[in-house]
Amino acid sequence: MPEGDTVYKTAQLQDAALAGHVLTGFELRVPRFATADLTGETVLEVVSRGKHLLHRIGGFTLHTHLKMEGAWRTYAPGETWRRPAYQARAVLTTAEVVAVGFELGITELLRREDEDDAVGHLGPDLLGPDWDAELAVARLASHPDDPIFVAALDQRNLAGIGNVYANELCFLRGVLPTRPVSTVELEPFVDLAERMLRANKDRWVRSTTGDLRPGSTSWVYGRRGRPCRRCGTRLHGGELGRDQQERTVTWCPTCQR
């Protein structure tokens, strides 16, 4: 599941492959931008903003979002793609590499000056140069009645937290996901969120337990009905969210209060 750390690493790899190179081909396989062509433009950089990817090309920005199934992959010219071509939404070609965005949830081309229209609403980026822990705490605190799990997932508060981290944060801080924000110590919650993402940003295997072995990487996420790793109590689970966007939530009724 792509969260802020996955998108950050994806941006790093895309930047290493494309930055400074001139596009010899450019194709967006979405109706709205099907005729757009940036062939001949130079890729300036590729950066992440929370869960969003920004390919800055000439005076434009290719804004994409991986959602649940999306991925960016790079290939040598002529190399067979390892995902079906019909899943491709963006194809960027240089003399050295072909970068393909598969099953992207968002694919849009913006003028650089309009970039904030896509990502300006986001809160502080946990892995970004603009990270501001005090602002993140203030953003969370401005929603005192929201369940902490829901508030942590709101990208307007913290940019980069997804379902995995929201579950794990609640467990590690010992709070039920339904606890109102106003009853949670926000400074250590935010500090832990940053440390967790930074610990995982340079690897594909995400672990919040410190154990990278399969089946051992999470405390509660994906473990509903199994024993708590700390106390042995059977983990409970359900769904929690707002605006018909409920997410799977798992917790320990003993360790979380």
Which residue in 9, 51, 206, 223 is the catalytic one? 51
Which residue in 29, 173, 224, 247 is the catalytic one? 247
147 annotated active-site: no
Per-residue H/E/C for the chain: CCCHHHHHHHHHHHHHHHCCCECCEEEECCHHHCCCCCCCCEEEEEEEECCEEEEEECCEEEEEECCCCCEEEEECCCCCCCCCHHHEEEEEECCCCEEEEECCCEEEEEEHHHCHHHHCCCCCECCCCCCCHHHHHHHHHCCCCCEHHHHHHCCCCCECCCHHHHHHHHHHCCCCCCCEHHHCCHHHHHHHHHHHHHHHCCCCCCCCCCCCCCCCCCCCCCCCCCECCCCCCECEEEEECCCCCCEEEEECCCCCC
What does the block give as tokens for 171?
Answer: 């467990």
**Strand, coil or helix: what is 90?**
strand
247 annotated active-site: yes
51 annotated active-site: yes
Residues marked as catalytic: 2-3, 51, 247
